[in-house]
Each structure stands twice: as C-alpha cells, then as structure tokens.
C-alpha cells in the first residue's frame, strides 16, 4: 500500500517501529487489521535490550503458534535465527554473576551461574532483529512511515487524529504508543508520575566494543564458560554487563555489548566523558580491568540520567502505552523483552475484539494496565533489593534465590500451559491459574507471599534493622520452609524444544530432577544452578559445589517435609530480633573487607 494523499484512515496507529511496535503490527496485520507504524527514525538503528530469557522465548513461541506466524519463531531459535534473520546474534546459556570488591582480585568462589534452559537463549543484535520485525510487519500489511514525526495528537469519540511532519493527517480507531521513555502519549496527556513511585535509582553508560576477551580461565570453576552467557560484574550499588554477540559459532559479528549501571545517589554523575567514567570504574576492580584492558568502543558512548519512570495509567479511551512507554526500572535480569512480549500477548486479543465491536472503553483494557503496573512494581523490588544485597556476597547469594524461585517455577508452569494449548487448541491453557500474583499468573501460588517477606527482609537490612548475615540466613530459612512444587513435565520440555521426543525421561527421572532443583534453589552451597547430569546427581545427594571445599549442607534441611505458610508464620524470625546495622545508599563505598564470619561456612 502506497500513501499518496494527505489524509489516511487506519484501524490502528502504532507509534514506534522498534521490537514492540513491529511485533504487534505483525500480529494485527496478520489478523486483517489495517495498521500504520510511525517512527521519527529509520532502520537499521542501534538499540539495547539485547538478552533474552526462556520466559521471553516461550511467549514469542506462543504468539507464533496462536497467530500462525512461524516467522516469529525464527527470532527465538538459534539455528533458525541464523538461517532466516541474521548471523549477528550471540547465544545465552546462563546468567553469570561475579562479585567484586574495590582493589581486590575476584574470588572465584563468589561467582554464580543460573542456567537459562536446555535450549540456547539469544543475545539479540537489536538493529537486525528490529529491522526484521519491522519488515515482517510491512509484509503483513502494515504501512511504514519512517523518518516521520507526530506534530499533533487528538483523541475523541470519533477516534484518533494525528498530524505528521510530512504534512499528513492520519486517522485511526486506536493508538498504541511504543516509543519508550519519550512517550508522545504520556507527554500529551500528562500521564507520567512525578515523582515516580519507584524505589530504585540507577543510571547507565553503554556502548558496543570489540577485543573484549572471555572472563574465564582461572576465574571460572563453574561448568559453562562465562562467555556463553550474559555476564554481570556486580559490586556495591552497581554492575557491569558483558553481552557477547561473538560467542555463537553461527555468528559473524565480533561485537560485544558492554555497559555500567550504578546508583546515582552513591555515584553522582561526574564532570567527565562517559568513556572516562567507565574506565575509572573498571580500574577499581582488578579482574574487570583485566577483561577490558584491550577493549575498544565501536560506536559513541551513551550516558543517561536516572533510568526509572512510571505512569499513572497505561491505558485510556482508544489508547495504550505499551511496555517501555509506560515505565522502566533497570536492565538487570533481562526482563525488558519479557515484559514487552507479555504485554503484546495481553493487548492483542482485547484490541482485535474492540475493533470488531467498536467498544474502546477503558474497561476492555484494564487488565493490560493492571499487568503493566504489577510487573513494574515487581521489577522495582527485584532490582532495588539486588542493589542493596550487593553490600555483601552472602546476602546477594540469598537474594538471587528469590529471583530464581519466581522465574524458574513460572517458566515451568508456562511451558506446561503451552504444551496443553498445542495439544488441545484450548486458549484457556494460556492463562495462568495463580490468583493475586505478583508478576505473572503462571508463578507459583505461594511465591508472592515469599517474595514480599524477602523484600521486607532486605529492606530491613538497608534500614539498619538487621545485619546482612542475619538477612541472608532469614531468606534461606524461608526458602527452605517454602512449599513449592517443581512442575517439570516431559511433554512440556519437548514442546519447548528443550529435549526431543525420543529422549529418555521417566517419571522416576522427573522426580529425581524435582528433588534436585528444590535443594539447589534453596541452599547457599550451590553456585551453578545449571542443568546437567552431574549437577543433578550432586544436588540430589545434597553435595555442595566441589570448588567451595565444603563437605555438606550445614543447614541440615529436611526437604521432604516443607512447612506450609501458616506454620511458617509462627516460626518466622522477627526483624526486630537482629543486630542493628547503620546503612545509607548515598554513603561512599567501603574500602575495607567487612565480610561476615558466616561466609567461611557458606563458601
């Protein structure tokens, strides 16, 4: 379709032709809706948000099946990605976290790996992924308007009216804003919360580099190369990311995405270039400096102010602020793309139904707003407590289990739902059954309460109500008492392409795996929560990682009889019963090694 006149009518206008706008445009176009996608920039272009997680890929696979769009599946399967999309993406086999102290060489006992899946996840080279999705949307009928600014916007009972820098008037029945932080809708209708309700504070510096070697050899006693995953160098109130696009044998891309994210209350923005500030932080940590000593930036550095923002509402009459247009917390845990595809999934059917019925009242889209606000609040607590926990490795080791218990269990439940949907065609299987969830309807039913208790514990430490040692112990105690199922099913693993149908996996094997996962997720004595036969055997025997040089789990847990929540409340340690510690997020970082004595027993 070629636009030649100055007035045009569409059913849906999408602002922003990045990943979110283009994927939604593809789905709507495939279902027969007339769509225009407007962006002031053009493809290809630089973008961050490069690391996927299984939850992201599972939802993309669901969208591909539900809307008969096999081309979407190309971007989540490593082989198909290289064959059909581009050869510029890396692979991700784990989240790798290594902990650092100023002026000290990295202690190899303070590294952790949380596996992503038995199937490789991806490091997306976004300029190619976004361009592919944009072109796919055009293929399915979306009209592209690149290098086009929206100069005015009006929404009323008759619909949406836009004027553009090209002198066009575009009318639509519904408007989706996927423009991110500089949301046109948020500015036009004053939707931003000022100040934001979000607790977390961070700013970031980033670029793309070449000649950054793997952080391995003597640094890594764990089973998988840190180079095969998303590497996080963590320190007090900050972290570096290292996302290689060159770790995939199918990749022709030498680039590595790097960045630094820090708390501006602890580390105010200095009067120097972003590159100089990055190098100053690198040089504080000898093992990080070694990895970056030959690194060279291949594009200009970007330095931001505070990243966090939120909106009073994300849907209204005939409009939706989608994903990063509605709010953002921090890139930690690679949750940005998951949140994006989840909202696409939540919005697509209500929008298609509204186009049929001509009912665009707010009530039809309130579930989308609730989901976006809920996820933003969860991400805020998740990341804020991570930054707090980086005061001490033992506390960070405990908090990471809180993340793992939410993420892993939700992914297993979602896989089961996807398998049931494929088998039956019943879309009800794509709706989780958890009531009053904290981030996802597929999460474990008791996770929200466990998460809230854990947040309360970490924030009590920050407020000086308990020591980091006591806070870490309390989280592990609660995790041990948390009665959660590990809902792994072979049919679901096969549907998610985590294994093949012909692979042997009996119910006895599944029980073995479930028991192993339970121990690994609730003990301080594992550093490699990565799926492998050797790891499973070790977990089921309750044997710590060999490089920790610890004989057994000193907590002596009875994992066969976890307590229910009503029993746990009576036994839960009181926050007031612990020693007081003074704490301030704006205080300068300590230069002394103040590790608690308990660390010797947990390493």
pLDDT higher than threshold 70 for residue 581: no
What pLDDT, on a 0 to 100 scale, did the predictor assign at position 530?
Answer: 77
What pLDDT, on a 0 to 100 scale, did the predictor assign at position 569?
Answer: 41
Residue of 48, 88, 58 whose CA lies nearest to 246: 88
Pick 94-120+201-303's CATH classification: 1.10.10.10, 3.30.420.40, 3.30.9.100, 3.90.1300.10: 3.30.9.100
pLDDT, tens digit (0-9, with 9 covering 90-100), for 534-547 = 787 888 889 999 88
Domain ranges of the chain: 7-89+124-196+308-373, 94-120+201-303, 392-601
190: left (phi over 0), alpha (psi -120 to 50) or beta: left
Rg of the chain over Cα atoms, rounded to whole angstroms, equals: 24
d(CA 219, CA 36): 50
What pLDDT, on a 0 to 100 scale, did the predictor assign at position 584?
Answer: 40
Residue with the bigger pLDDT between 118 and 175: it is 175
pLDDT higher than threshold 60 for residue 130: yes
d(CA 525, CA 552): 8
Length of the chain: 603
Q: Classify 560 as helix, strand or coil.
A: coil
Lowest mean pLDDT among 230-234, 253-257, 317-321, 579-583: 579-583
Number of Cβ within 10 Å of residue 265's Cβ equals: 14
Pick 7-89+124-196+308-373's CATH classification: 3.50.50.60, 3.40.50.1370, 3.30.70.250, 3.20.20.60: 3.50.50.60
Residue of 69, 85, 180, 80 whose CA lies nearest to 125: 85
Q: Which two tokens stand for residue 16?
A: 């922003």
**Is the C-alpha dihedral spanning 322, 25, 442, 73 positive or negative?**
negative
CB 422 within 8 A of CB 65: yes
Q: How would you class 193 by CB atoms within 10 Å of its CB: exposed for 0-12, middle for 13-18, buried for 19 or more?
A: middle
Banded model confidence at residue 574, pLDDT cuts 50, 70, 90? very low
Q: Which two tokens stand for residue 300?
A: 């200009």
Lowest mean pLDDT among 147-156, 382-391, 578-587: 578-587
Number of Cβ within 10 Å of residue 2's Cβ equals: 4
What pLDDT, on a 0 to 100 scale, did the predictor assign at position 137?
Answer: 98
Taking residues 35-39, what's their average pLDDT? 97
Taking residues 264-275, what's their average pLDDT? 97
The structure tokens 């059913």 sit at 11
Residue with the bigger pLDDT between 557 and 594: it is 557
What pLDDT, on a 0 to 100 scale, did the predictor assign at position 4?
Answer: 56
What pLDDT, on a 0 to 100 scale, did the predictor assign at position 281?
Answer: 98
pLDDT, tens digit (0-9, with 9 covering 90-100), for 394-441 = 999 999 999 999 999 999 999 999 999 999 999 999 999 999 999 999
Taking residues 465-481, what's their average pLDDT? 97
- pTM of the full predicted structure? 0.91
Helices (H) and strands (E) in the chain, counts: 17, 19
pLDDT higher than threshold 70 for residue 158: yes
Taking residues 460-479, what's their average pLDDT? 98
d(CA 109, CA 601): 12
Banded model confidence at residue 115, pLDDT cuts 50, 70, 90? confident
Taking residues 80-108, what's their average pLDDT? 97
pLDDT higher than threshold 50 for residue 586: no
Banded model confidence at residue 553, pLDDT cuts 50, 70, 90? low
Banded model confidence at residue 531, pLDDT cuts 50, 70, 90? low
Banded model confidence at residue 509, pLDDT cuts 50, 70, 90? confident
pLDDT over 90 percentage in the chain: 81
Banded model confidence at residue 559, pLDDT cuts 50, 70, 90? very low
Where does 307-390 have alpha helices with state H? 336-357, 366-389
pLDDT higher than threshold 50 for residue 483: yes
What pLDDT, on a 0 to 100 scale, did the predictor assign at position 217?
Answer: 76
Q: Classify 449 as helix, strand or coil.
A: helix
Taking residues 303-309, what's their average pLDDT? 97
pLDDT, tens digit (0-9, with 9 covering 90-100), for 92-101 = 999 999 999 9
Banded model confidence at residue 552, pLDDT cuts 50, 70, 90? low
Q: What is the DSSP string of 69-110?
A: -HHHHTTTSHHHIIIII-S--EEE-EEEEEE--TTS---GGG
pLDDT over 70 percentage in the chain: 90
pLDDT higher than threshold 80 for residue 578: no
What pLDDT, on a 0 to 100 scale, did the predictor assign at position 579?
Answer: 38
Bridge-partner residues for 261, per DSSP?
204, 239
Q: Which two tokens stand for residue 588?
A: 């300068």
pLDDT higher than threshold 80 for residue 2: no
pLDDT higher than threshold 70 for residue 1: no
């Amino acid at each position: 379709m070629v636009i030649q006149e100055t007035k045009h009518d569409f059913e849906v206008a999408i602002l922003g032709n990045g990943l979110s706008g283009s994927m939604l445009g593809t789905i709507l176009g495939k279902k027969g809706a007339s769509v225009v996608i407007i962006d002031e920039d053009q493809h290809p272009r630089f973008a961050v948000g490069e690391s996927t997680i299984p939850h992201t890929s599972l939802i993309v696979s669901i969208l591909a099946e539900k809307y008969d769009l096999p081309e979407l599946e190309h971007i989540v399967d490593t082989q198909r990605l290289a064959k059909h999309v581009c050869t510029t993406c890396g692979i991700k086999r784990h989240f790798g976290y290594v902990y650092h102290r100023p002026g000290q060489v990295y202690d190899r006992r303070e590294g952790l790996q949380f596996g992503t899946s038995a199937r490789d996840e991806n490091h997306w080279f976004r300029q190619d992924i976004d361009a592919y999705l944009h072109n796919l949307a055009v293929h399915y009928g979306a009209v592209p308007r690149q290098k086009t600014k929206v100069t005015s916007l009006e929404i009323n009972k008759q619909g949406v009216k836009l004027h553009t820098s090209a002198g066009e008037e575009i009318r639509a029945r519904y408007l989706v804003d996927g423009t991110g932080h500089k949301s046109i809708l948020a500015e036009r209708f004053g939707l931003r919360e000022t100040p934001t309700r979000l607790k977390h504070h961070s700013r970031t510096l980033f670029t793309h580099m070449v000649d950054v070697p793997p952080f391995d050899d003597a640094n890594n006693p764990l089973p998988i190369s840190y180079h095969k995953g998303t590497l996080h160098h963590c320190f007090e109130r900050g972290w570096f990311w290292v996302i290689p696009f060159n770790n995939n044998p199918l990749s022709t891309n030498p680039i590595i995405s790097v960045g630094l994210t820090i708390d501006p209350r602890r580390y105010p923005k200095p009067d120097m270039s972003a590159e100089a500030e990055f190098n100053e932080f690198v040089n504080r940590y000898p093992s990080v400096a070694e990895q970056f000593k030959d690194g060279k930036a291949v594009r200009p550095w970007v330095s931001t102010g505070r990243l966090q923002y939120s909106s009073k509402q994300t849907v209204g009459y005939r409009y939706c602020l989608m994903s990063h247009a509605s709010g953002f917390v921090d890139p930690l845990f690679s949750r940005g793309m998951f949140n994006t595809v989840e909202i696409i999934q939540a919005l697509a059917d209500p929008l298609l139904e509204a186009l049929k019925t001509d009912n665009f009242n707010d009530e039809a889209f309130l579930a989308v707003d609730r989901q976006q606000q809920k996820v933003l609040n969860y991400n805020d607590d998740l990341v804020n407590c991570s930054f707090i926990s980086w005061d001490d490795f033992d506390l960070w080791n405990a908090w990471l289990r809180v993340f793992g218990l939410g993420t892993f269990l939700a992914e297993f439940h979602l896989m089961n739902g996807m398998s049931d949907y494929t088998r039956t065609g019943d879309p009800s299987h794509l709706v989780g059954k958890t009531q009053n969830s904290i981030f996802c309807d597929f999460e474990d039913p008791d996770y929200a309460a466990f998460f809230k208790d854990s947040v309360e514990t970490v924030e009590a430490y920050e407020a000086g109500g308990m020591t980091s040692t006591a806070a870490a112990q309390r989280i592990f105690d609660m995790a041990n008492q948390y009665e959660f199922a590990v809902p792994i099913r072979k049919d679901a693993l096969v549907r998610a392409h985590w294994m093949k149908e012909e692979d042997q996996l009996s119910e006895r094997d599944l029980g073995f795996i479930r028991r192993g996962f339970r121990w690994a997720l609730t003990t301080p004595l594992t550093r490699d929560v990565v799926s492998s036969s050797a790891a499973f055997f070790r977990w089921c025997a309750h044997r710590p990682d060999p490089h920790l040089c610890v004989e057994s789990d000193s907590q002596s847990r009875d994992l066969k009889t976890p307590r229910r929540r009503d029993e746990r409340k009576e036994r839960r340690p009181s926050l007031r019963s612990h020693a007081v510690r003074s704490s301030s997020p704006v205080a300068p970082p300590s230069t002394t090694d103040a590790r608690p004595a308990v660390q010797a027993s947990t390493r």
